[in-house]
Amino acid sequence: MSENSEFILGVDIGGTHITAALVNQLHWEILSDNVVRNHVFSQENAKSIFHTWANTINACLNSVDFKVKHIGIAMPGPFDYENGISLMFGQSKYDELYKMDVKTPLSELTGIPTQNIHFINDAAAFLQGEVFAQNLNTKNNVLGITLGTGLGSAVWNNGDKSFDADLWNTPYQDSIFEEFLVTRWFIKRFKELTGIEVSGLKQIITEFQDHKAFPVICDEYGTNLVNFLKFFSEKYSCNEFIIGGNISKALPLFLDQKKNLIQDFHIYNATLGEEAAIIGAAAQFS
């Protein structure tokens, strides 16, 4: 099988999913017919997680009749991206991989040499892709936020690649910012207010918009998000934001009543979804 250096395998790994796609590095576009996505049970044992990841990657590699040399992987933090070691623990995902070398098992299961597997923070990869997709690369700086099972933050400076701002564990109230801005906050807070157990924000929006707790949830989350935006903006002297992640689809519910508090911010919704992280991950080999 001949090698095709035009394509790089980009992978986006989240708390509940893995998506693999071939990226054409000449145009930084995804080969849409060959995208493979699977659910990941991220609280399973390490062997199960590695096999889900490898099966997804191999299905994508085997979908074409040429050999792909490089894999770029967007991964949530905390993670040792240089050495491929997971440092996630106590975040409702990948506890079984804590302090484990992730790169070597993936290399063994996919046949790609370890030196050709590179990792990048998922928030940094997302921001890199979105900045160019939305033609914001003429700006001096752009800040990226991803809101989902974890809190991602990244910074893009004109002329440089984006980097992980690593603000998830910044002290906030009686804990850290992440605990007030991710899916598990909705589950915990809604139960505190109602006694009802839900799976996440989607169920709250779908089934409980008429409940008296709904506006309370929206107001409190909006306040938390505004406080994070202000903190992030002051830290990097920037008021340009791109916000993505599953929770970002409901931004109007949280921010429409806070417009007077964020009138100096320019907030853009992410447009590519996980494609941005896949392209950003592949771009490590550009």
Domains identified in the chain and CATH numbers: 7-124+275-285 (3.30.420.40), 138-269 (3.30.420.40)
Pairing state between β 117-121 and 141-147: unpaired
What tens digit of pLDDT does each residue of 80-100 get? 999 999 999 998 899 999 999
pLDDT at 123: 85
- Given a cut of 80, whether residue 225 has pLDDT beyond it is yes
CB 158 within 8 A of CB 240: no
Average pLDDT over residues 46-66: 96
Average pLDDT over residues 5-23: 93
- Given a cut of 80, whether residue 4 has pLDDT beyond it is no
pLDDT at 1: 62
Nearest one of 56, 182, 195, 187 to 123, comparing CA atoms: 182
pTM (two decimals): 0.74
3 pLDDT band, cuts 50/70/90, is: low
What tens digit of pLDDT does each residue of 166-203 get? 999 999 999 999 999 999 999 999 999 999 999 999 99
- Positive or negative, the CA dihedral 174, 179, 181, 187 is negative
Q: What does the alpha-carbon distance between residue 178 and residue 232 come to, in Å, rounded to a whole number?
A: 13
User: Which of 82-86, 132-136, 188-192, 233-237 is least confident?
Assistant: 132-136
- Positive or negative, the CA dihedral 4, 25, 276, 43 is positive
DSSP one-letter string for 106-155:
HHHHH---GGGEEEEEHHHHHHHHHHHHTT-TTSSEEEEEEESSSEEEEE
User: Which of 26-30, 51-55, 181-185 is least confident?
Assistant: 26-30
What tens digit of pLDDT does each residue of 94-122 get? 999 999 999 999 999 999 999 999 999 88
Phi-psi region of 221 (alpha: psi -120 to 50; beta: other; left: phi over 0): alpha
